[in-house]
C-alpha cells in the first residue's frame, strides 16, 4: 500500500488553511487542516485533477490600434499542461478583425480546449 501526503494552501478564502491531503494507492483518503467543506473539495481536486485557465497574449496583424490581443483557454486545462498551452501559442498570430470569443487556436496542445480571444481588435 503506497501512502503519500501532500501539503496545500486552500485558496477559497483569505483564511488560507494549510491542508494535508492523504493519498493511498492513488485515492484520496483524507483531507486535514481544512475548516470548512470547501477546503475538502479543493484539496481532493488539487491532488487528483488540478486544473487552471491559462491566459496569455498573441500578436495581432492588421489592427490599427492593437499590437497584441489577450487570449484564454475557453475552459480550464490540466495544470500540468499550462506550459504546453503557452508553447503551442508561440508563433501563433491573429488576424484582425478579431472579436471576443473568436477561436485563435483550436484544441490547444491536445487538451481538447480551444484558445479564444478575450479582446477585440
Residues that bind other proteins (CB under 8 A): 8-11, 13-16, 35, 52-57, 59, 65, 67-68, 70, 72, 79, 82-83, 86, 100, 118-120
Compare residues 12 and 22 and give the one whose CB is closer to other proteins.
12
CB of 50 to other proteins, least distance (A): 9
Q: Can you tell me which residue has the cell 481536486?
A: 45
3-state SS class at 83:
helix
3 state DSSP class of 109 = helix
Among residues 24 and 53, whose Cβ is nearest to other proteins? 53
DSSP bridge pairs for 52: 77
Which is nearer to other proteins, 35 or 95 (by Cβ)?
35
The set of cell numbers assigned to 20 is 494535508
Cell for 80? 500540468
Residue among 101 and 112 whose Cβ is closer to other proteins: 101
Other C-beta atoms lying within 10 Å of the C-beta of residue 97: 11
Least Å distance, CB 92 to other proteins, is 13
Amino acid at each position: 500500500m503506497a501512502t503519500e501526503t501532500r501539503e496545500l494552501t486552500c485558496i477559497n478564502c483569505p483564511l488560507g488553511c494549510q491542508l494535508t491531503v492523504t493519498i493511498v494507492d492513488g485515492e484520496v483518503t483524507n483531507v486535514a487542516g481544512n475548516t470548512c467543506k470547501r477546503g475538502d473539495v479543493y484539496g481532493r481536486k488539487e491532488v487528483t485533477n488540478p486544473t487552471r485557465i491559462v491566459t496569455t497574449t498573441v500578436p495581432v496583424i492588421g489592427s490599427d490600434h492593437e499590437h497584441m490581443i489577450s487570449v484564454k483557454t475557453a475552459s480550464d486545462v490540466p495544470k500540468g499542461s499550462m506550459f504546453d498551452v503557452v508553447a503551442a501559442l508561440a508563433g501563433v498570430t491573429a488576424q484582425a478583425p478579431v472579436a471576443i470569443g473568436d477561436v485563435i487556436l483550436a484544441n490547444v496542445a491536445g487538451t481538447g480546449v480551444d484558445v479564444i480571444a478575450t479582446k477585440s481588435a
